[in-house]
Amino acid sequence: MHADPVRRLARLILPLSLAAALAACGQGASKSPEGEEAATEAAEYERGPHRGRLLRDGDFSLEVTLYEDGPEPLFRLYPYLKDKPLDPKQVQASIALTRLGPKVDRFTLTPEADYLTSAAVVREPHSFDVSVVATRGGARHSWTYSSYEGRTTISADAARAGRVTTERAGPATLGETLPIAGRVEITPEGQSEVHARYPGRVVSLNAELGQRVRRGQVLARVESSESLQTYPVTAPLGGVIVKKNVVVGGITGAEPILVVADPTKLHAEFFLYPRDAERVRVGQPVEVFSLAGDHRITSSVEAILPTADLTNQTLIAHVHLTAPGEAWRPGLGVKGVVHVGATSAPLAVRTRAIQPFRDFEVVYAKVGDTYEVRMLELGRRTPEWTEVLGGLEPGTEYVVDGAFLIRADIEKSGASHDH
């Protein structure tokens, strides 16, 4: 048996990852491909009394934590001398975070209670190379370490094999759409009632339900009750007989003896509720789908009837079916999406690129062969585009297709969000 193609691609890509992400903020990530042992050693750093990373330099030590119980994450640094708490007023400290890109965030910390804290927020993702500098009594102490989250490295060959594609984030036009429902009907000009011109008795009938007839074909002969003359009744158009109201020997009257319909002249009648009818206009593009979803055509609104149904208060919009066939039979239900307008967004990403990560919706930024999450603040959303209000710089290269493979490679590391 052939393996599932998605699993086959995942097996191809994941082993080729050069450095699986450590999703724990505060865990060191090895940049060299020495394997799990090196990654484990990097993750096993010493922790202080507040469960932060403890940095030592002789008798002086500094515990780095990220305080996330408030409205925004902030750094808190606890100083120690010979493992005893030290008055934070005796210490000057700063932190530099080098992000993927690169971009450097700098923090100057000030004393508060028994720790030093940052005034600036530590923005997501908490993934960076960290440089800490502290000065006490004229002595300078410095440390560097890596703390990666939602980051992985995949070779260009592996990305191509997994059909990973990228685009640059930028402005986009967001098409506003409206879902509608309706049914397929024969157009008024596509059906006709067949009447006997004069009342009389049907002496012959050459018509059966479902029979296909051509225009001008004789369908019946009627003996006039007044002149006793027999005259032919012909088909007014080519199509299929869909209704039959008489038999041989029957008497004709005001009711049609037959109804002929052309099954190729179809339109969809969509129901518009009052709140939607105000947005729908003649000429707007419409995508029409069969209920099973396996047939689709693109058309436009050709007419909106001016009167509403008294029972359900809906208006009817007619949409021409440009390619009638087996999927579009009169009476069948259909779904539609009408394009009611378009607005511009200064920054947007493809909707299919958005992935879940912890409690966030993210895309994966690409820098070289490295991929990293970008937590997004989102605005308007359409099936194609989603507006980005924050969390992503314009011009960022991000993953569009194959994002789930990047996500799988990051999750494969089993890392957690930890400080």
Using CA atoms, how far residue 269 sits from 9, 165, 187, 302, in Å, is 44, 40, 10, 10
Euclidean distance between CA atoms 49 and 68, whole angstroms: 17
- For residue 282, with 0-12 CB atoms within 10 Å meaning exposed, 13-18 middle and 19 or more buried, which class applies? exposed
Phi, psi of 36 (to 5 degrees): -65, -35
Could you tell me the two tokens for 109?
């910390």
Please state, in angstroms and rounded to a whole number, the distance separating the CA atoms of residues 357 and 266. Answer: 47
**Structure token digits, residue 178:** 């409206």
Cα gap 321→183, rounded to integer Å: 11
User: Quick one: 288 and 299 in the same domain?
Assistant: yes
pTM across the whole model = 0.63
237-270, pLDDT tens digit by residue? 999 999 999 999 999 989 999 999 998 899 999 9
The answer to the question of residue 7 being in a domain is no
Which one of 261, 283, 312 terminates a domain? Answer: 261
Shared domain check, 219 and 269: no
- Asked whether residue 29 carries a pLDDT value surpassing 50, the answer given is no
Token code pair at residue 117: 């804290």
The reported pLDDT for the residue numbered 375 is 95
Give 159-200 pLDDT, tens digit per residue.
Answer: 999 999 999 999 999 988 899 999 999 999 999 999 999 999
**Amino acid, single-letter form, for residue 178:** L
Instruction: Point out the least confidently predicted range of 74-78, 321-325, 396-400.
Output: 321-325
pLDDT in tens, 42-51: 457 899 999 9
Q: Which two tokens stand for residue 72?
A: 């925004």
Going by pLDDT thresholds of 50, 70 and 90, the confidence category of residue 39 is very low
Residues 3-18 pLDDT 10s:
444 333 334 333 333 3
Contact 363, 392 (CB under 8 A): yes
Strand partners, 268: 184, 319
Instruction: Write the CATH number for 335.
Output: 2.40.30.170
342 and 248 belong to one structural domain: no
* Three-state secondary structure call for residue 405: helix
Mean pLDDT of 60-66: 96
CATH of the domain at 77: 2.60.40
- Asked if residue 126 belongs to a domain, the reply is yes
Quick one: 133 and 215 in the same domain? no
Q: Average model confidence (pLDDT) for the chain? A: 86
pLDDT > 60? residue 148: yes
Report the pLDDT averaged over residues 263-287.
Answer: 91
413 Rama class: left (phi>0) / alpha (psi -120 to 50) / beta: alpha
Residue 226 has pLDDT above 50, yes or no: yes
108 with 195, same domain: the answer is no
In this predicted structure, what is the pLDDT of residue 418? 54
170 and 291 belong to one structural domain: yes
> In this predicted model, what pLDDT tens digit does every residue of 327-376 receive, in sequence order?
788 889 999 999 988 889 999 999 999 999 988 999 999 999 999 999 99
Give the end of a domain, one of 128, 151, 174: 151
Please state which of the ranges 36-50, 91-105, 150-164, 322-336 shows the lowest mean pLDDT.
36-50
Query: Crossing angle for the helix pair 5-13 and 403-412, nearest 10 degrees?
Result: 60
The pairing of strands 115-118 and 333-350 is: unpaired
Asked if residue 212 lies in contact with residue 187, where contact means CB atoms within 8 angstroms, the answer is no
Name the nearest CA neighbour of 237 among 209, 257, 265. Answer: 265
Give the residue numbers spanning the domain of 376: 165-187+265-401
Residue 390 has pLDDT above 70, yes or no: yes
Same domain, 311 and 176: yes
